[in-house]
Amino acid sequence: MPLLEARDVHGGYGGMNILNGINMTLEADEVGVIVGPNGAGKSTMLKAIFGLLLVNQGEILLRGEPIHNLPPNKLVQKGMGFVPQENNIFPSMTVKENLEMGAFLKPNSVKPMLKQVYEAFPPLYDKRHQRAGELSGGQRQMVAMGRALMAEPSVLLLDEPTAGLSPLYMNEIFARIREINAIGVGILMVEQNAKQALAIADKGFVLAAGQNRFTDTGASLLANPDVAKSFLGG
Amino acid sequence: MNEFMFFINNVLVAGSVSGSIYAIGAVGVTLVFSIMRFAHFAHADMMTFGAFMVLALTTAFPAAGAGFGMPTAVVMLPVAMALTALLAVGIDKAFYKPLRAHGVKPIVLVIGSLGVTLMLQGVIRLFAGTGGQNLYVDDRKEIFRMVLPLEGVRVPVVITEPQLYLFVLTLVSVVALHLFLNRSRLGKAMRAMSDNPELAQASGINTNTIVAVTWVIVGSLAAIAGTLLSLDVTFKPDLSFFLLLPIFAAAIVGGVGHPYGAIAGGFVVGFAETLAVFNWNVLLRPYRDSFPDWLELPSNLAFVGTEYKIVVPFFILVAILIWRPTGIFKGKVI
């Protein structure tokens, strides 16, 4: 049974649909990347999975259990983590407090998880008493991912985790994402840096106009001349 | 020196008294703003409600305080705090929650809170009448006069019993709130929701719980501020309402949505008021002989007359909004 499955998902913010029948499957040991042009519905799809917008047709399953249109706090309880692209930290709270909030529903696992997150992101340990809003972009992204990991999710949704980061930080974040996946967290992320993201992806989903255009392994999509021509800038 | 004692009584003591009241009031206003993002105009009448509960309980059990060696009104305060917290949660459920559920703009909630304040005023007047009543029903209000052991000092520093309770309870409330917001899981969740409500929800924080917790704290603080104010003066149904402007000024001066800012803002407004109405001539009087003959000081050197005290917070408010709209502590711009 796949970890996460979307079947013919239609949805939007009320009014016109943005998603017009999207299918996806992700296994527990996979990193999946959603790419596509602006307005293709990439971030919208991620938000639909996390219960942030109305799914009015089709279904989304987490280990076979329907989860579409459940509120976000229920999804967190079911093992889903979400890192939004913007406003993904609590700026006036310290790094440590940010992480603690991630494990809000599991107060007993705060200590062991803090240790684990500090091991995954060593810079966060040094800055744990600093306000998260004072950190650099790359470190903020680490705080945001660390916060989501604190809840011990089985699947992590990342909305453009490398947006606005320097190439150095981008590679750092991608390396961390592979590490997180290696400890058993399924990853589904939206990326603008499509080539680099597909290079580390097990599976890629190319969306256009709210529908699937290509679905394949990351390597095959990179090698596919049609994909390269239309979506990866040649 | 006696002139200086006069200064202590009229500026330091009086400023600390109004500053404490404004500070506790402004913390309540700022907490509501930081969690629900609207200016809660019914806060002053929640204060009155708290004091009214103390009045009702003290009238019903006038001898209850004797066993504790405290005025009955102070002994009844925790009960009144609980009742006011209950009222605050109830008002939210009945009036504000349905509005939020419809996704209305904050201004609609502000207008709603004006309606709530009128309603509270009516209900309280219905039961308490419109006149003033002493919260010291069976007890005597102690007044402490301390003549400082300095040469030539005859004028005592005057502090009343309710003022001492006010200082102590202000300190206790501020420390308790600080510990709650920084050490407890729920307090941190409140700060998280104030910082970034969407992310708080995405972290599994139940926003309804946080809203309820906020109202419990806000109601309790309102009861403390209203009761101590009424103890110091007398209980009047419109007493707290007239503090609405200085309380909002304090919250904005400190930086809206910033509890420590609200405390600082409360004291800034409190001291600004007492300094503005203080007759500075009193302090200059001892040096009168050394002034040149042509200089005749007017007998009243206050910046504004006592009857115009209310313009002081108004002036501070306008000045802050023009020159530093985020307040001392960089709060959220309204």
CA distance A199 to chain B (A): 29
Note whether B191 contacts A92, CB cutoff 8 Å.
Answer: yes
Note whether B203 contacts A147, CB cutoff 8 Å.
Answer: yes
pLDDT at A135 over 60: yes
- Cβ proximity of A41 and A210 under 8 Å: yes
- Cβ proximity of B167 and B76 under 8 Å: no
Instruction: Look at residues A202, A206, A211, A199 and name the one whose alpha carbon lies nearest to residue A226.
Output: A206
Ordered DSSP codes for chain A? --SEEEEEEEEESSSS-SEEEEEEEE-TT-EEEEE-STTSSHHHHHHHHTTSSEEEEEEEEETTEE-TT--HHHHHHTTEEEE-SSS-S-TTSBHHHHHHHHTTT-GGGHHHHHHHHHHH-HHHHHTTTSBGGGS-HHHHHHHHHHHHHTT--SEEEEE-TTTT--HHHHHHHHHHHHHHHHTT-EEEEE-SSHHHHHHH-SEEEEEETTEEEEEEEHHHHHH-HHHHHHHS--
Q: What is the mean pLDDT of residues A10-15?
A: 84
pLDDT of A118 reads 96
Using CA atoms, how far apart are residues B307 and B273, in angstroms rounded to an integer? 11
Token pair belonging to A155? 């699947």
Chain B residue with CA closest to A99: the answer is B203
Q: How many CA atoms lie within 13 A of A73 on its CB side?
A: 14
The pTM for the full model equals 0.89
Chain A residue with CA closest to B332: the answer is A92
pLDDT of B109 reads 97
Note whether B199 contacts A77, CB cutoff 8 Å.
Answer: no
Cβ-Cβ contacts under 8 Å between A and B: the total is 61
Write down the domain spans for chain A: 1-79+153-234, 87-152
pLDDT of A234 reads 53
pLDDT at B27 over 90: yes
Q: What is the mean pLDDT of residues A158-168?
A: 91
For the stretch A90-125, pLDDT in tens is 999 999 999 999 999 999 999 999 999 999 999 999
- CA A60-A153-A174 angle, to 5 degrees, is 95
ipTM: 0.86
**pLDDT level of residue B333 (50, 70, 90 thresholds):** low
Note whether A104 contacts B185, CB cutoff 8 Å.
Answer: yes
Determine the length of chain B: 334
pLDDT of B272 reads 93
* Chain B residues close to A131, C-beta within 8 Å: none
- Mean pLDDT, rounded, of chain A: 92
Q: Kindly give, in sequence order, each residue whose CB lies less than 8 Å from that of residue B48, ignoring residues fewer than 6 positions away.
A: B120, B121, B124, B226, B237, B238, B239, B240, B241
Test mutation, A70, A90, A143, chain B, max B CBs within 10 A: A90
Instruction: Look at residues B96, B101, B93 and name the one whose alpha carbon lies nearest to residue B111.
Output: B96
- % chain A with pLDDT above 90: 80
Judge whether A105 is closer than 8 Å to chain B, CB to CB: yes
Using CA atoms, how far apart are residues A206 and A39, in angstroms rounded to an integer? 12
* Chain A residues close to B192, C-beta within 8 Å: 90, 93, 97, 101
CA distance A180 to chain B (A): 18
Token pair belonging to A103? 């494990």
Using CA atoms, how far apart are residues B42 and B241, in angstroms rounded to an integer? 9
pLDDT at B26 over 70: yes
Note whether B195 contacts A90, CB cutoff 8 Å.
Answer: yes
Using CA atoms, how far apart are residues B79 and B228, in angstroms rounded to an integer? 14
Write down the domain spans for chain B: 2-287+296-323
- Cβ proximity of A199 and A222 under 8 Å: yes
Architecture field, domain B2-287+296-323: Orthogonal Bundle (1.10)
Q: Kindly give, in sequence order, each residue whose CB lies less than 8 Å from that of residue A51, ignoring residues fewer than 6 positions away.
A: A67, A68, A69, A70, A71, A72, A74, A75
pLDDT at A60 over 80: yes
**pLDDT level of residue B305 (50, 70, 90 thresholds):** confident
Note whether B192 contacts A107, CB cutoff 8 Å.
Answer: no
A1-79+153-234, what's its fold? Rossmann fold (3.40.50)
**pLDDT level of residue B1 (50, 70, 90 thresholds):** confident
User: Nearest Cβ partner of B192 from A50, A73, A90?
Assistant: A90
Chain B residue with CA closest to A144: the answer is B199
For the stretch B55-103, pLDDT in tens is 999 999 988 888 888 899 999 999 999 999 999 999 999 999 999 999 9
- CA A93-A97-A100 angle, to 5 degrees, is 145
The residue type at B272? A
CA distance A77 to chain B (A): 7
Radius of gyration of chain B (CA): 21
pLDDT of B330 reads 72
* Alpha-carbon torsion, ordered B115, B116, B118, B121, to 10 deg: 180
For the stretch B222-251, pLDDT in tens is 999 999 999 998 999 999 999 999 999 999
- Cβ proximity of A122 and A176 under 8 Å: no
pLDDT at B308 over 90: no
* Chain B residues close to A87, C-beta within 8 Å: 196, 198-199
pLDDT of B332 reads 65
- Mean pLDDT, rounded, of chain B: 91
For the stretch B281-300, pLDDT in tens is 888 877 777 777 777 777 77
* Chain B residues close to A147, C-beta within 8 Å: 199, 203
Which chain A residues in 26-45 lie under 8 Å from chain B, judged by CB atoms? none
Can you say how many angstroms the Cα of residue B2 is from the centroid of all Cα atoms in its chain?
30
Q: What is the mean pLDDT of residues B206-230?
A: 96
Q: What is the mean pLDDT of residues A56-66?
A: 94
pLDDT at B334 over 70: no
CA distance B181 to chain A (A): 11
pLDDT of B154 reads 85
* Chain A residues close to B204, C-beta within 8 Å: 72-73, 76-77, 104-105, 151
Longest dimension (CA), chain B: 76
User: Nearest Cβ partner of A91 from B185, B195, B198?
Assistant: B195
